[in-house]
Amino acid sequence: MIAAWRLLALLLAIATPMQLAVTVLGADLRRTVGGRLVQLGGAALLWCVVAAALFTVTTLGAAGAAMRTVTDVPLALMAMAGLGLLAYVQRARWRWWRQRTAPDIAASGGVSAPGSLSFARGIAALGDRHYYLRGFAEHGPVFRMSQFGAPTMCVLGLERRQAIMRQHGEALGPAPLPFSRSVLRGFLRYMDDATHDHYGPLMRRAMHGGTSASLHERLQHDIRERLLRASNGSAPPATATAFIEPLVREALDLLLFGFGADGDAGDSRQAATAFARQGTAFYHVQSSRRLNATEESMLRQLDDLLAQQEQRLHADGVADTVPLGRIRTLSGSAPDDTVRQNFVFLHRIATNNVSGLMAWLLVFWSRHPDIVARIRASSGDERQRLLERFLAETLRLSQSEYTYRTVARTFVHDGMVYPAGWLVRFCVWESHRDATVFDAPTEFRLRLGDQDYAKSRFAPFGTGRHACNGADLNETLCVALLSVLVDDFDVHAEPVEPLQRAPRHWGHWQPNARLSLRITRRAHP
């Protein structure tokens, strides 16, 4: 290979890996995402070093002709791989370049959204909590970006989201995570409209049956027991994850399926333990891929355990107390595999969402003693209202960040074209920080005005047919935790920064993974 070709091969081999390595190994991403993404960055850097070494040895070194031929081969292969990677990271741009002349776009009369489809910038966004806010400040309320090569429209404003959903709902489809393909007829949130027409309202009605006083009592009792154990002076401070996840899982076992409702009664205790054991193992399946064979067998076992529990609830005459038991009353027949598998995944996803939210609740509780003192001074209905507002303010500032849709058919909104096949990210966290709507929107405050959390300005649970059907249950659970805390325990939660998140745009920002909780019993006068 002559020197110029060799130089070209080197540039092709390293251009894209180098750009990715520089992005991924930057301080923000290392601090916030870390893990596998950073390992990939390290691998990309190593790749560049190897390519540069091959180039140097062959071109500048004293290698003989035979040796040069040997080292040219891997360099050429690396150049081809680099070219492949370049094509991969340019997917979003090429897709748009081809699409812009397609008849549906050309005829739409809309202009393309501002912003960049750079792959590397999309990756950098993972490490920057204010990426979308900055994008809106620079480009206005709609801009485009690339999320791992998927072109994405980012949209600011709850009213805009409402208008788009209302006017173009038919042209928008779900943006399913891969695990949904392992659920018979799909996970509720990602079901096609025809299937959802049947299962959506059924599940929603089952979830909206309320929580009985005795379940409430049981829930508070279980939470108190956990807090007492954690506040035992000889116990080391619990990591937030080790404390919160089992609490949430057990609470959902109770509130969704009635496991543990009658305490330690023999038969039902065994059922609760069997479900909890399998459910805990299942919690670690990843939502970013289909289930493997072992996980599918775990899903079948959980499905069987739920079928048995459903029969037990009816035999004991307590079917009406929990969503799993209500289905038969509502539909006239026992829940089918689709319902039960949805319950299994709903439990899995809700454990994750509510655990994240509880970590934030404890952080804000620990950081705002003045607000906690105000709540402590209240009683009865007023206290309940203050606790609900504390929860709402926590949700406004954390854990509710986005909803996603896929554009099924090209449409134009406000003169801007939304091309078929693109993702739409409705930016909820950013919309909840609108200074024209909230005073001091970045501050955590106990906001007590009637309109402070009106639907038009606050929508952490989405809207429309796929709006969250666990919002009430979420409130029951979170307020139960706060109401046990309020009288009897103090919490100190540290370290919170640097905030962290999973390496995907759909992940929530969380307090630092090392967050630990020091829980102490309050001395009563």
The footprint of ligand HEM (CB under 6 A) covers: 188-189, 200, 346, 350, 353-354, 357, 399-400, 403, 460-462, 466-470, 473-474
Question: Least Å distance between CB 462 and ligand HEM?
Answer: 3
Nearer to ligand HEM, 383 or 432 (CB): 432
Question: Least Å distance between CB 468 and ligand HEM?
Answer: 3
Using CB atoms, what's the residue nearest to ligand HEM?
470
Joined tokens for residue 302:
């959980």
Question: Least Å distance between CB 15 and ligand HEM?
Answer: 37
Q: Taking Cα atoms as reference points, which of 344, 374, 408, 413 lies closest to residue 184? A: 344
How far is residue 506's CA from residue 404's CA, in Å, rounded to a whole number? 9
Joined tokens for residue 96:
């748009």
Nearer to ligand HEM, 18 or 354 (CB): 354
How far is residue 236's CA from residue 416's CA, in Å, rounded to a whole number? 56
Joined tokens for residue 11:
């540039």
How do strand 238-239 and strand 411-413 relate by DSSP bridges? unpaired
Nearer to ligand HEM, 398 or 512 (CB): 398
Nearer to ligand HEM, 29 or 219 (CB): 219
Nearer to ligand HEM, 45 or 251 (CB): 251
Question: Least Å distance between CB 27 and ligand HEM?
Answer: 29
Nearer to ligand HEM, 460 or 511 (CB): 460
Nearer to ligand HEM, 84 or 464 (CB): 464
The string of DSSP letters for 43-100 reads HHHHHHHHHHHHHHHHHTS---HHHHHHHHHHHHHHHHHHHHHHHHHTHHHHHHHHHT
Question: Least Å distance between CB 212 and ligand HEM?
Answer: 17
Q: Taking Cα atoms as reference points, which of 313, 217, 210, 299 lies closest to residue 259? A: 313
The string of DSSP letters for 155-172 reads EE-HHHHHHHHHHHGGGE
Question: Least Å distance between CB 89 and ligand HEM?
Answer: 28
Question: Least Å distance between CB 425 and ligand HEM?
Answer: 11
Q: For 211, which DSSP code?
A: -
Instruction: Show Cβ contacts of residue 43 under 8 Å, excluding neighbours closer than 6 positions.
Output: none
Question: Least Å distance between CB 372 and ligand HEM?
Answer: 21
Nearer to ligand HEM, 321 or 399 (CB): 399
Nearer to ligand HEM, 243 or 360 (CB): 360
For the sheet with 489-494, list strands across it: 238-239, 516-521, 489-494
Other CB atoms closer than 10 Å to residue 245's CB: what's the count? Answer: 20
Nearer to ligand HEM, 3 or 467 (CB): 467
Question: Least Å distance between CB 478 and ligand HEM?
Answer: 8
How far is residue 406's CA from residue 175's CA, in Å, rounded to a whole number? 5
Joined tokens for residue 495:
């370290």
Question: Least Å distance between CB 22 and ligand HEM?
Answer: 34
Question: Least Å distance between CB 392 and ligand HEM?
Answer: 11
Nearer to ligand HEM, 99 or 403 (CB): 403
Find residue 500's DSSP bridge partners.
Answer: 510
How far is residue 510's CA from residue 498's CA, in Å, rounded to a whole number? 9
Question: Least Å distance between CB 324 and ligand HEM?
Answer: 11
Joined tokens for residue 228:
């007492």
Instruction: Show Cβ contacts of residue 318 under 8 Å, excluding neighbours closer than 6 positions.
Output: 258, 261, 325
Joined tokens for residue 349:
């996803």
How far is residue 326's CA from residue 322's CA, in Å, rounded to a whole number? 6
Please answer whether residues 409 and 167 qualify as being in contact, where contact means their C-beta atoms are separated by less than 8 angstroms: no
Joined tokens for residue 39:
């390992």
Nearer to ligand HEM, 85 or 240 (CB): 240
Q: For 495, which DSSP code?
A: -
